[in-house]
Amino acid sequence: MDRKKCIWLVLISWIIGFVHAMSQQVMILDVPFCGSRIVDSFFCDTPLVIKLACIDTHTLGMFINANSGILATICFILLVISYTYILLTVRLHSKDGASKALSTCTSHITVVLLFFGPCFLIYLWPFSITWMDKFLAVFYTVITPLL
């Protein structure tokens, strides 16, 4: 891949990530909070913060879950497409290259699945289980990066 294409891909991913994060933060800034301001988790994840609001946050929660769910699904689909393309391209050239590519990609695919599994559970699960939320938060912020 040439340098220009690589820079564009990095810029696009940074812009999408920034817009995604800012869209959620802007929505939360206008929410009034009252009572307890203690989030029952290890960090202030957006779905947990909106539970502290004084107003009905059903619509906001649906927006945040849809926003995160759509972004995670698109990323996952793009990864599957790219792995398929890589493996099909390498397989056409040599069987030895295909086995090397598969063994190289397998570890990354495992980490991707370990990251997206909890991510999908957190944002697509219909109800919240506190101990499960805490476990998944630690899992995808500590365990997955260690791999």
Query: Could you tell me the two tokens for 99?
Result: 């086995």
Sort 122 into a burial class: Cβ within 10 Å, 0-12 / 13-18 / 19+: buried
Query: Which residue's entry shows tokens 């989030």?
Result: 39
Residue 18 has pLDDT above 90, yes or no: yes
Count Cβ neighbours within 10 Å for each residue of 89-107 and write b for 16 or more, e otherwise.
ebeeeeeeebeebeeebee
- Name the CA dihedral angle for 127, 130, 134, 139, rounded to a multiple of 10 degrees: -40
Task: Summarize pLDDT for 93-140 with one digit per residue, the tens.
Answer: 667 766 777 777 788 888 888 877 777 777 666 666 677 777 877 777
The pTM for the full model equals 0.70
State the helix-helix crossing angle for 130-138 and 95-124, rounded to 10 degrees: 150
Cα–Cα distance between 114 and 59 in angstroms, integer?
A: 29
Mean pLDDT of 8-29: 89
* Cα distance between residue 44 and residue 47, in whole Å: 8
Reported as a single tens digit per residue, the pLDDT across 23-39 is: 888 888 888 888 777 77
Separation in Å, CA 118 to CA 30, 41, 62, 94, 138? 28, 15, 18, 36, 10
Cα separation, 104 vs 111, in Å, equals 12
Average pLDDT over residues 77-96: 78
Q: Are 105 and 82 in contact (CB under 8 A)?
A: no
- How far apart (Å, rounded) are the C-alpha atoms in residues 71 and 60? 16
In the DSSP assignment, the letter for residue 52 is T
